[in-house]
Amino acid sequence: MIDAAIVGLGRWGQSIVNAVQGKSRLRFVRGVTKEPELARALATRHGFALSSEFAEAVADPAVRAVVLATPHSLHVDQVIAVARAGKPVWCEKPLALTHAQAARAVAACEAAGVPLAVGQNKRFFPAMLELARLVAAGEIGEVMHVEGHFSNEHSTRVAGGWRDDPAETPGAGMTGAGLHVLDSMIDLAGPARAVHAKLFGAKPPPDPRDAVAVLVEFASGATGTMATVRAAPMVWHMHVFGTRGRAEVTGETTLTLARIGEAPHTRTFAPADSLFLLAEAFADAIEGRRPFPVTPPAMLATVAAFEAVIASLATGGPVAVSAHDAPAGPLRQASAAVP
Rounded mean pLDDT, 22-45: 95
Rounded mean pLDDT, 117-140: 97
State how far the Cα of 42 lies from the Cα of 70, in Å rounded to an integer. Answer: 17
pLDDT at 205 over 90: no
Least confident window among 90-104, 206-220, 257-271, 279-293: 206-220
Task: Identify the band that residue 175 occupies on the pLDDT scale cut at 50, 70 and 90.
Answer: confident
- For residues 155 and 103, state if they share a domain: no
Rounded mean pLDDT, 254-279: 97
Share of the chain above pLDDT 90, in %: 80
CATH of the domain at 107: 3.40.50.720
Beta-ladder partners of 50: 31
pLDDT (0 to 100) of residue 207:
66
Domain region containing 160: 122-336
pLDDT (0 to 100) of residue 273:
97
pLDDT at 71 over 50: yes
Domain boundary among 90, 120, 150: 120
Least confident window among 19-33, 98-112, 200-214: 200-214
- For residues 231 and 287, state if they share a domain: yes
pLDDT (0 to 100) of residue 166:
66
Domain boundary among 94, 120, 146: 120
CATH of the domain at 315: 3.30.360.10
Rounded mean pLDDT, 174-181: 89
pLDDT (0 to 100) of residue 163:
59
pLDDT (0 to 100) of residue 268:
98
| 8 A C-beta contact, residue 226 and residue 214 | yes
pLDDT at 136 over 70: yes
pLDDT at 230 over 90: no
State how far the Cα of 330 lies from the Cα of 323, in Å rounded to an integer. Answer: 15
- For residues 280 and 142, state if they share a domain: yes
The model's pTM is 0.91
Least confident window among 19-23, 43-47, 208-212, 216-220: 208-212
Chain mean pLDDT for the chain: 91
Using one digit for the tens of pLDDT, what is the confidence trace for 140-162?
999 999 999 999 876 556 555 65
- For residues 223 and 285, state if they share a domain: yes
Domain boundary among 97, 120, 143: 120
Task: Identify the band that residue 232 occupies on the pLDDT scale cut at 50, 70 and 90.
Answer: confident
